[in-house]
Amino acid sequence: MPRRSPRVEAVALPDHLEPGQLSGKVAVVIDVLRATTTIVRALESGASCVLPVASIEGARMLAHDREGSLLCGERGGIPPEGFALGNSPREYDTDAVGGRACVLSTTNGTRAMHMATGAHEVLIGSITNAHALCAHLISDGRDVVLVCSGTDRRVSLEDCIGAGGIVEGLTGFEADDSALLMLRAMRGATEAHGSLQAAVASSFHAKRLADLGFRDDVALAAELGGAGLVPVFDQATGEITPL
Amino acid sequence: MPRRSPRVEAVALPDHLEPGQLSGKVAVVIDVLRATTTIVRALESGASCVLPVASIEGARMLAHDREGSLLCGERGGIPPEGFALGNSPREYDTDAVGGRACVLSTTNGTRAMHMATGAHEVLIGSITNAHALCAHLISDGRDVVLVCSGTDRRVSLEDCIGAGGIVEGLTGFEADDSALLMLRAMRGATEAHGSLQAAVASSFHAKRLADLGFRDDVALAAELGGAGLVPVFDQATGEITPL
């Protein structure tokens, strides 16, 4: 008997997940600006793992307990006192993070990862690792739910665009209306603005980051598929490592 | 002091509304296939009002109490016993509904209208009345929340496309990311399928209606702006009448 096509659906916020919606499926958490982009970059640069934490205080405590870890994160564009790195993916090079565990304070991305823990597996998605991610999901063949993180419980266009890029790459999957919404929005925004980078830069959050001096981060986060790595969030240990 | 631009935001399901999100704003309920399209058509054809009811039984009771009313609605494409009309907008001509109150059984649309009652005003939106609706909203100048009804608590692409058509018409409004998502998806789907009608017809619900023999309803529901009428839902009486 031929197996049915795997399905892909999407939520614009983790709050939109229905009870049981993730059961037996792969959840892909997306926070394009900037948590999941930064996580992909940190692991590419050889970080041993990333530990996402919602609060600055929680990050301080976790880093204190974990010898040799790097304390990472920002508030209002500036790393708090005692933090080694901010949230800019461009900071996460091999010199900075190679071989180290990164304790990363990020509100929206952490919240989305923890709200996705009913899934069979929680993967980390960004525009930068979309190709590797889609290749893995196609080979895996399970149903997929794309979980956009949003910003402060509001829908973020850049996460929806990221989700649309992943839907586009999922050859052979059946996309429901929620996934088609993301795919059409990604293509429509790319068409309206002339490029994927300009589409991402049109989002509210991208404009705020540009005002804070992080325009290059927005450009980096919109580079499709350069990163050949799929991070997985271990629901038991809270660690993110490459698959 | 110049007044700030009015804002438009959108939710893909009424369940996504946050407490207080509608306060002081105009809510526009959208159920393209087919409740709000049918309501617009019924009032255009001279129905005195439409009374939306979630259940078949509720509709029977209300119609029984209201002399001269028409019992309208369907399950699985067929009007239940004793029902004068189905849910197809094409049935709602002047001969059928002129001067009559229509008690309309519609699950998703009714639910969305009742979930929107925290708003200053609840209006009925469809692709067919988008021009008249946008003209009214622009003249009114209040902030707007577009409330897509969805189908059985799942996102419906055709409602998102309808919301996008309304965002497009709201000249002078500031669209947040949730509204931009709808606008870009509407344009992207139109581009991908070659026309607005084909975009609407690509939705899951449109395909189901086509299978049930209602392909012409899908085409009618995607005709942009022909109806010059804005229905308002009276939260106290449950009646929908033209503004």
How far is residue B158's CA from residue B164's CA, in Å, rounded to a whole number? 10
Report the percent of chain A where pLDDT is more than 70. 99
pLDDT at A77 over 90: no
Please tell me the predicted confidence (pLDDT) of residue B68.
94
Q: Would you tell me how many other CB atoms lie within 10 Å of the CB of residue A150?
A: 28
B189 touches chain A (CB under 8 A): yes
Provide, as residue numbers in chain A, all residues whose Cβ is less than 8 Å from the Cβ of B13: 16
Write out pLDDT tens, residues A118-176. Answer: 999 999 999 999 999 999 999 999 999 999 999 999 999 999 999 999 999 999 999 99
The mean per-residue pLDDT over the stretch A200-216 comes to: 95
DSSP character string of B118-135: TSSEEEEE-STTHHHHHH
Contact assessment for residue A43 and residue A179, using Cβ atoms and an 8 Å cutoff:
no
A:B CB pairs within 8 Å: 93
Q: Considering only alpha carbons, which residue of chain A is nearest residue B9? A: A155
Please tell me the predicted confidence (pLDDT) of residue A76.
74
A241 touches chain B (CB under 8 A): no
Any idea what DSSP says for residue B48? Answer: S
Quickly state the pLDDT bin for A209 (edges 50, 70, 90).
Answer: very high
ipTM: 0.93
B191 touches chain A (CB under 8 A): yes
Verify cis geometry, omega within 30 degrees of 0, for the bond prior to A34.
yes
Q: Tell me the pTM.
A: 0.95
Report the percent of chain A where pLDDT is more than 90. 93
A177 touches chain B (CB under 8 A): yes
Q: Exposed, middle or buried by CB within 10 Å (0-12, 13-18, 19+), for B27? A: buried
Mean pLDDT over the full length of chain A: 95
What CA–CA distances, in Å, run from B44 to A111, B30, B94, B134?
48, 17, 8, 17
How far is residue B199's CA from residue B195's CA, in Å, rounded to a whole number? 6
How far is residue B127's CA from residue A239's CA, in Å, rounded to a whole number? 47
Please tell me the predicted confidence (pLDDT) of residue B12.
98
Q: Considering only alpha carbons, which residue of chain B is nearest residue A187? A: B188
Q: Exposed, middle or buried by CB within 10 Å (0-12, 13-18, 19+), for B37? A: buried
Owner of token pair 């508030």: A75
Provide, as residue numbers in chain A, all residues whose Cβ is less than 8 Å from the Cβ of B187: 188, 191-192
Contact assessment for residue A35 and residue A149, using Cβ atoms and an 8 Å cutoff:
yes
Q: Considering only alpha carbons, which residue of chain A is nearest residue B15? A: A16
pLDDT < 70 positions in chain B: 1-2
DSSP E strand boundaries for chain B: 7-11, 26-30, 49-53, 70-73, 101-105, 121-125, 144-148, 174-175, 231-233, 240-242
Any idea what DSSP says for residue B223? Answer: -
Q: Which of B15, B181, B192 sits opposite A160 (nearest CB)?
A: B181
Please tell me the predicted confidence (pLDDT) of residue A2.
57
Picking from A106-110, A186-190, B131-135, which range would have the lowest pLDDT averaged per residue? A106-110
CB atoms B181 and A181 under 8 Å: yes
| Cα separation of the two ends of chain A | 31
Task: Using DSSP, state whether A104 is helix, strand or coil.
Answer: strand
Provide, as residue numbers in chain A, all residues whose Cβ is less than 8 Å from the Cβ of B184: 157, 184-186, 188-189, 192, 199
Picking from A71-75, A178-182, B90-94, B122-126, which range would have the lowest pLDDT averaged per residue? A71-75
